[in-house]
Amino acid sequence: MANIQDENKTVEEGDVKAPAYIEPIDDAPVGLGDAPVRRRSSTDLRLRKTIAAALFSALAFLGVFVFHIKVAGFLTFDFKDAVMTVGALWLGPVAGVLMAAVVAFFEFISVSSTGPYGLLMNFVSSASFILPAALLFRFRRTRVSAMIGLSLSVVFMLAVMMPLNILIDPLYLHVSREKVLELIPPTLLPFNLVKGVLNAALAALLFQPVRRALNSVEILPPDEEPRRLPAWVIPVTAGVIAVAAALVFFLVLDGKFRFIR
């Protein structure tokens, strides 16, 4: 078999490879061996993640308008925290906080009637819910850790919002702090608890569909996590919890459904 001499190295004719200076291409001609797979640049990936974060923010803001539940005349539940949290699980905690800030600001300049106090409350409520789940998932990217993180988000949001309600509510409700303290057991505590549980359940339902969507646009690597639970366990459990929490809103807290804000 004929040999080819190249810089004192002898290779067989059938093993000729493309020189290093040739740019890798996906459709390399026959005879150059296997062409390296073109990888997306870090700039392209950052752009895709920025677009994804903007899309999650837009969907969260849309949720403020389309569907919400009013409780006690001044408390409102909507789906924005669930949308932003599932986005932050995959895009990171920094993206989650930025989404919370953007959505709170646009809510402030559009539909909010509580002024700067409502802006502060909305941002802190969303950020305190998003961060625990996003931070835990950043260090351990499994389905189980995501569900544990969502449970921690409920607890952390309650721990943050109860003192903040006591401090801020008297300023925009124009009532005494004692009156706000009286509202905690029958209204503020159960509202924030059910709000957190429902948002966590909705985020759990969106977890896998969002993962597949981000995989399809190459923002995430292919899903290689081994399945330790049957595929139906998380969505079915989350669906049952979501229905139960919604019933508590309507039947126990006397929530009022509104379709368009």
Question: What global pTM score does this model have?
Answer: 0.80
pLDDT of residue 222: 65
pLDDT of residue 65: 82
Strand ranges for the chain from DSSP E: 3-6, 9-12, 68-71, 75-77, 256-258
User: How many Cα atoms are found within 13 Å in the side-chain-facing hemisphere of 232?
Assistant: 0
pLDDT of residue 112: 80
pLDDT of residue 30: 45
pLDDT in tens, the chain (261 residues): 444 444 444 444 444 454 544 444 444 444 444 444 455 567 888 888 899 999 999 999 998 888 888 887 788 898 999 999 999 999 999 999 999 999 999 999 988 878 899 899 999 999 999 999 999 999 888 888 999 999 999 999 999 999 999 999 898 888 889 999 998 999 999 999 999 999 999 999 999 899 888 888 778 766 656 667 777 888 999 999 999 999 999 998 888 887 766
Q: Of 135, 133, 141, 139, whose CA–CA distance to 225 is shortest?
A: 141
Residue 236: count other Cβ atoms within 10 Å of its Cβ. Answer: 12
The correct answer on CATH 1.10.1760.20 for the domain covering 41-221+229-254 is yes
The DSSP string of 112-141 is -SSHHHHHHHHHHHHHHHHHHHHHHHHHS-
For tokens 């700067």, the residue is: 116
Strand partners of residue 3: 12
The Cα 174–Cα 73 span in angstroms is 14
| Phi, psi angle pair for 11, to nearest 5° | -130, 150
Chain length of the chain = 261
For tokens 């995989």, the residue is: 215
pLDDT of residue 37: 46
